[in-house]
Structure formats: C-alpha cells, structure tokens
Structure 1
Amino acid sequence: MANKQPRPERKVPGRVERLGFRLDEETKELIERAAHLSRRKVSDFCVTALVETARRTIAEHETLALSDRDRAAFFDALIAPPEPNDRLRRAFSEHGRRVVS
C-alpha cells in the first residue's frame, strides 16, 4: 500500500466570515430543492441569492427615479439656478461656522 500523505486543508479565498440563521423545515426543503435543480451546493445557492438580493436592494435605494416634470425642474434649476434666499444664506453661514475644511 502506498504511503498516503494528508492533504493540505483547502481554503476558499474571500470566505472568512459566517452568517447563520434558522429556517422552518418547509423553507429549508424549498431551498435545497432549488439548489439541487440548479446543480449547486446549498451554501453556494444561498450566497448567490443573498448577494443578488442585497445588490438589487441597495441599487433600488441608491437610484433616484424622476418623473418627466421633476426631471425638467431639476435641469432647469441647474441651467438657471434661483438666487439664494435668506434661509439658504443662513444655512451656508452656519455650515461655514461649524465645518472646517
């Protein structure tokens, strides 16, 4: 018999943090079935689904969708900005007093 050396432990780069949660049996079976149908490990399936959902959620919250009317008002204000009123002047003054660049 050949002398077998123990294999070095294989580490997946970038996966050092853990996230754990509990599921009801029905949800777990649903996830396992979906992972099996996509021919992936459950953990890989879950990570991919979570990352996609997280990215989509962030994009939805960081994206501003304007109506045609709002878009026109925004660009009009950029092209021909209104004169600052007293309230805006006070705000700039207060900002200059509080914030040191």
Structure 2
Amino acid sequence: MPKALADNSTARLEARIPARVYEQMQRAARLRGMTLTGYIVATAGEDARRVVEDAEIMRLARADQIRFAQALIEPPAPNARLARAAKRHADLVERR
C-alpha cells in the first residue's frame, strides 16, 4: 500500500491531452479566476472525491432505510439453512 502523503506535500502529474481540451481548460480556469493548476486540482479532486464516495457509500431509498432499520430492531428468526450454516461454522471454528 502506498505511503500516505502529508497534507502539505505535493506530487507531480503529467498528461498529454488534445490541444483543444487544454485550451478549453485554460479558458474555464480564467473564467473562474483560477490558474490552470488550481482549476485542475479543484475539478479533478472534486470528481475523484465523488467517484470514491459513490463506490464506498451505499445509498438507500427511504423505504429501504426503514426496512433495514426494522430488520436490525426485530431480526427475523433463523431459517433452516442459517441454522445448518451456524452449526457447520461451530464445528469448524474452535472457540477461544
């Protein structure tokens, strides 16, 4: 696993992009009153945060949230398959 970077450290990024895209990003940065580097850091960083959040956070509809909470509060009785699995697990795993 890569070593975590300190908050004030920086890393270099190099990329070859179409000239048209580069010009568009420069224009967008100017329109926002930012440097190109600042613009890229802000927009790419925000997009990266959203992508990671979407991958790591499960969002449930309200009805699903209620069903989930209800199942935690009042779990259903174990069925036969779960009882067999629990017995197999107990037979395989030594208690400490």
- Verify same fold: TM over 0.5: yes
Q: Which runs of 4+ in 1 moved over 6 A?
A: none
Of 50, 63, 68, 2:44 maps to 50
How many pairs does the alignment contain?
86
Q: CA deviation at 1:37?
A: 1.9
Aligned runs of 1:37-76 on 2, under 5 Å? 37-76=31-70
Instruction: For 1:87 and 1:47, locate their aligned partners in 2 and report how far apart those are by CA, in whole Å.
Output: 52
Could you tell me which residue of structure 1 aligns to residue 78 of structure 2?
84
Shift of the 20–93 alpha-carbon distance from structure 1 to 2, 3 Å rule, reads same
Q: Aligned letter for 2:70? A: D
- TM-score under structure 2 normalisation? 0.69
- TM-score under structure 1 normalisation? 0.66
Instruction: For 1:21 and 1:97, locate their aligned partners in 2 and report how far apart those are by CA, in whole Å.
Output: 52
SS of 2:29's equivalent in the other structure is helix
Q: Which structure would you say has the larger Rg? A: 1
Could you tell me which residue of structure 2 aligns to residue 5 of structure 1?
none
Residue segments in structure 2 that go unaligned for 5+ positions in a row:
1-7
Instruction: For 1:51 and 1:58, locate their aligned partners in 2 and report how far apart those are by CA, in whole Å.
Output: 11
Q: Comparing 64-73 with 20-29, which one deviates more in the overlay?
A: 64-73
1:14 equivalent to 2:9? Answer yes
RMSD, aligned CA: 2.8
Residue segments in structure 1 that go unaligned for 5+ positions in a row:
1-12
